[in-house]
Amino acid sequence: MFLVFVLAGLYTVFGVGMPMSALDMTRMVGPIGEPMTMGPAATWTTTHFLLVFLMWWVMMIAMMTPSAVPVLLLFIALKRHGSQKSQAESLGLTFLSGYLLAWLGFSAMATLLQGLTEAVGLTNGPMMTLAARPVAGAVLLLAGLYQFSPLKAACLRHCRSPAHFLSAHNKKGYIGALRMGLHHGTYCLGCCWALMALLFVGGIMNLYWIVGLAAYVLAEKLVPYPRLVSWSTGLCLITAGVWISVSVL
């Protein structure tokens, strides 16, 4: 897991296949909704789509793998005490693969959304961030409101209870491990998709937002009183969204 995290992190930081590295992008990012102008955007060929998709998926791997550590270690520990103890580690990697497949689906949707918003001028192509303050404010507002939703609460409760999930959904074999990882990853996606959408606000390759969101997602699953944390964050996001939207009037 550590190796996967490190390789995905390095891929993201150095912006493999992108015009600039994440370090360069972070240094050049402007205020929310006011990105720097850097010339025409890249043409969306099949190759460009695949590179942007890989950027999203590898970035999600780097951001979400740490938050999967508790459930994966518990999964391996349970397998070591069962009939498949000799396969515990390989089953664990299969579980992780299923978990990351859920984020592959999110990455494909994010890539399509990035392409569509860039086509209509809502996203600044070279800087990969929203180009209009009202739209950025609306995304902040949406993410804040989602923090109060029953779906968010249910998915967060699931993600914070790995023992309950593993006991209720235990399956044997590699196919079973893959399905369990995908199942758990889907709940994690339901918990965090709105937070990941904030990358469009701060800059998709802005390291401050990448590290900050990854740390917050991990904290939300570990700290006491998670709903209080979610509601406080939601209130801050709503306030920021309203302020950014109103400030253009």
Low-confidence winner among 157-166, 186-195, 233-242 (lowest mean pLDDT): 157-166
Give the residue from 142, 140, 114, 115 showing the smallest Cα distance to 33: 140
- Write out the E strands in 9-149: 123-124, 129-130
The reported pTM is 0.87
Low-confidence winner among 4-8, 17-21, 118-122, 219-223 (lowest mean pLDDT): 17-21
Rounded Cα gap, residues 182 and 180, in angstroms: 5
Please indicate whether residue 235 or residue 202 has the higher confidence score (pLDDT). Answer: 235
Stated length of the chain: 249
Instruction: Say how many CA atoms lie within 13 Å of 47 toward its Cβ.
Output: 4
CB 26 within 8 A of CB 18: no
Query: Which pair of structure tokens corresponds to residue 6?
Result: 């490190």
